[in-house]
A and B are shown apart, each in its own frame.
Chain A
């Protein structure tokens, strides 16, 4: 099943993340200053991996030409959801990890973000959050493009209103791991965001069960 889920996924969902990671590696390699290199690496991991995951997730389930055939089988909705989402998150994770290896090879120091686990949480938590947002948005509206728009809007608002969100609801700030890695409430924020992602995934599963909306 995983093999077919892989080969029936849209090709751009697979090659575009790899191409973007490659682009950031090239940019970081071309810039000599260590601080700028770190900023580029942090920008890729903390902002662009989550954004791409959010947009991709909006298309992951509904953008399937054989959706009606799939609905006529006994495959459980949770299986559909996890398989499709798992593939794109797997691609994003692979790109993020390969990028970190490339960054290490270029001498980019990511330690300002914390230890190895903290670095992974810094990109993984917002990636899960925006992926769940994009997926939920597409299923709630029965439109892939709407889901992608919602994920992108959340991403933009989080960047533009950083100060206000950190002052009024710091636990909802997606990019705390990369922008404020030293904050005392970082772990609490990441836990809250992870729970919110799980809630959105559960909501997506509930929505997908109303399958006639998507035909």
Chain B
């Protein structure tokens, strides 16, 4: 579906992406990385909004380097940007209808039918005629997904969709994305490891503009195998330097730490612990700094 070869992007002297090579097939694909890793730049390039400095991208056979290829790609694209700007005075149905027109759905009857369908898909049909300014953050995100889906895209790009949502909304949103995947390619960009672990079978980790890892969530977790410990120590007693504390649990008279890192001579009280996806991510980032 997507072939990215030798992709780099510079903004003036700042390099956002360096020699990115990725092949992405149908289904959910996770793009993980810290803030500033280049995820949004990559998403914008795939959406045909930002031009790469060097490299080539083919999406469903269309060369994104040409104007014709870009237009053909946009015809099969649904895009939910990180900073989702909307028109607060429009209703949900009006916004999705407007985006449908911009995406080239000119038949009014067909368009209205499709608008109703996508608002039902995101469970907003009951509030379709309410103004967006009265919506919660989660509802606005779902309007964003509805507009992205209105042209029945083969490629759906969602950039940090769960940022700022409460846990219930996040779970609902994740489930929605998984249900949409099917034959589509859904690219989920996020810095929230849990979102990837719950939704994707294939992922890449970006760091400082480079692809640091490509594989499954189990393979990413496996990077931390043998590097995760649980250790309980009295309060205020600092644990092993050189490791990263990924969690702390305050007990009655001590603190239980979960540590990730290289520990040549572990404390006898430290218990080796099976790694999670987050541990793998932390270990990957440690090895790259």
Contact = CB atoms under 8 A, between A and B. Distances in A.
A72 B74 contact: yes
A72 B80 CA distance: 9
A72 B77 contact: yes
Contact of A75 (B44, B97, B102): B102
Interface residues of A, number: 19
Interface in B42-67: 44, 47-51
A212 B49 contact: yes
Chain B interface, >50% SS class? loop
A74 B104 contact: yes
B10 to A, nearest CB: 12
Contacts of A69: 79, 81, 84-85, 99, 102, 147
B85 A66 contact: yes
A4 B98 contact: yes
B89 A4 contact: no
B62 to A, nearest CB: 12
B103 A74 contact: yes
B254 interface: no
Given A73-B99, A74-B71, A215-B44, A68 B49 contact: yes
Interface string A58-93: 000000111111111111000000000000000000
A39 interface: no
Q: Which 4 residue pairs are nearest across A and B when measured between Cβ atoms?
A: A65-B85, A72-B79, A4-B98, A73-B102
Interface of B: 44, 47-51, 71, 74-75, 77, 79, 81, 83-90, 94, 97-99, 101-104, 147
Interface of A: 1, 4, 7-8, 64-75, 211-212, 215
Given A4-B94, A212-B51, 12 more contacts: A68-B49, A69-B84, A71-B49, A73-B102, A73-B104, A74-B71, A74-B74, A74-B75, A211-B49, A212-B49, A215-B44, A215-B50
